[in-house]
């Protein structure tokens, strides 16, 4: 089963001082890094939901999906990404750009876990809950498109008793400029 990836990157990054997706890390932007991780994990196609700025994908085989409703919150980006998936897509991996511990190896483990029961979502377990990166089968695309506001898909993962992949590093995210240094993110 081929799984598409939707990278949620349309946020304005107010606390960061600009879009997180465009921040440099180890010679590439956070969006380029997340895109490369999804591609290296075998996702196809890979879509990046972006704001009203040039995503600068650097030649990566990633389709940019503009989200004019990004100010609503993450639900609008989930909707935009899911609605842009090609007809017949069987599953989608949702991820963001601001979790520096996410790498292709983690995404491959999550894809493998999902492959054991492809009718049930699979998510990462950290901070005593489930979250993204997470994979959703197509039967849940309508539920993803019904999300509103600044709420992600956690409620769907919990309701569906998603298969959990332990990922304690998932709690590490980048919200403020000092997070790049304080949290030991490689430069």
CATH classification of the domain holding 145:
3.90.550.10
What pLDDT score was predicted for residue 105?
98
Q: Strand 122-126 to strand 129-137: parallel, antiparallel, or no bridges (unpaired)?
A: antiparallel
What's the angle, vertex CA 113, arms to CA 111 and CA 97, rounded to 5? 45
Q: 45-57: per-residue pLDDT in tens?
A: 999 999 988 888 8
Structure-block tokens of residue 72: 């609503």
Write down the mean pLDDT value for the chain. 89
| Separation between Cα atoms, residue 5 and residue 121, nearest integer Å | 14
**187 belongs to a structural domain:** no
Nearest C-alpha neighbor of 154 from the set 78, 65, 71, 42:
78
pLDDT digits (tens, 9 = 90+) for 130-144: 999 999 999 999 999
Q: Report the range of poorest mean pLDDT among 52-56, 65-69, 105-109, 115-119.
A: 52-56
Does the pLDDT of residue 18 top 80, yes or no?
no
Residue 56 falls within a domain, yes or no?
A: yes
Number of structural domains in the chain: 1
Joined together, the tokens standing for residue 170 give: 């998932």
Residue 124 in domain: yes
Residue 61 tokens read as 């085989």
Banded model confidence at residue 128, pLDDT cuts 50, 70, 90: very high
Reduce the DSSP state of residue 104 to 3 states and report it: helix
Question: Concatenated DSSP letters for 20-43?
Answer: GGG-EETTEEHHHHHHHHHHHTT-
Contact in structure between 12 and 77 (CB atoms under 8 Å): no
Q: Range of 31's domain?
A: 4-182
Measured at the CA of 50, the angle between CA 72 and CA 179, to 5 degrees, comes to 85
Decide if 22 is inside a domain.
Answer: yes
Say yes or no to pLDDT of 79 above 70. yes
Omega of the bond leading into 45 within 30 degrees of 0 (cis): yes
Q: Which of 67, 71, 89, 97 is nearest to 79 (CA)?
A: 67
């Amino acid at each position: 089963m081929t799984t598409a990836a939707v990278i949620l990157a349309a946020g304005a990054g107010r606390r960061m001082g600009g879009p997180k997706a465009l921040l440099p890390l180890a010679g590439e932007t956070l969006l380029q890094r997340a895109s490369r991780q999804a591609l290296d994990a075998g996702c196809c196609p890979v879509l990046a939901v972006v704001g009203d700025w040039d995503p600068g994908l650097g030649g990566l085989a990633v389709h940019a999906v503009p989200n004019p409703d990004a100010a609503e919150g993450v639900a609008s980006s989930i909707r935009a990404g899911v609605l842009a998936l090609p007809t017949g897509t069987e599953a989608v991996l949702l991820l963001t750009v601001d979790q520096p511990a996410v790498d292709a190896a983690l995404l491959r483990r999550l894809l493998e876990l999902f492959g054991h029961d492809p009718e049930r979502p699979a998510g990462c377990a950290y901070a005593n809950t489930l979250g993204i990166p997470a994979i959703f089968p197509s039967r849940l695309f309508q539920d993803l498109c019904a999300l509103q506001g600044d709420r992600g898909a956690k409620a769907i993962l919990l309701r569906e008793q998603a298969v959990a992949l332990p990922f304690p590093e998932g709690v590490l995210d980048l919200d403020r400029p000092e997070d790049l240094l304080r949290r030991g993110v490689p430069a």
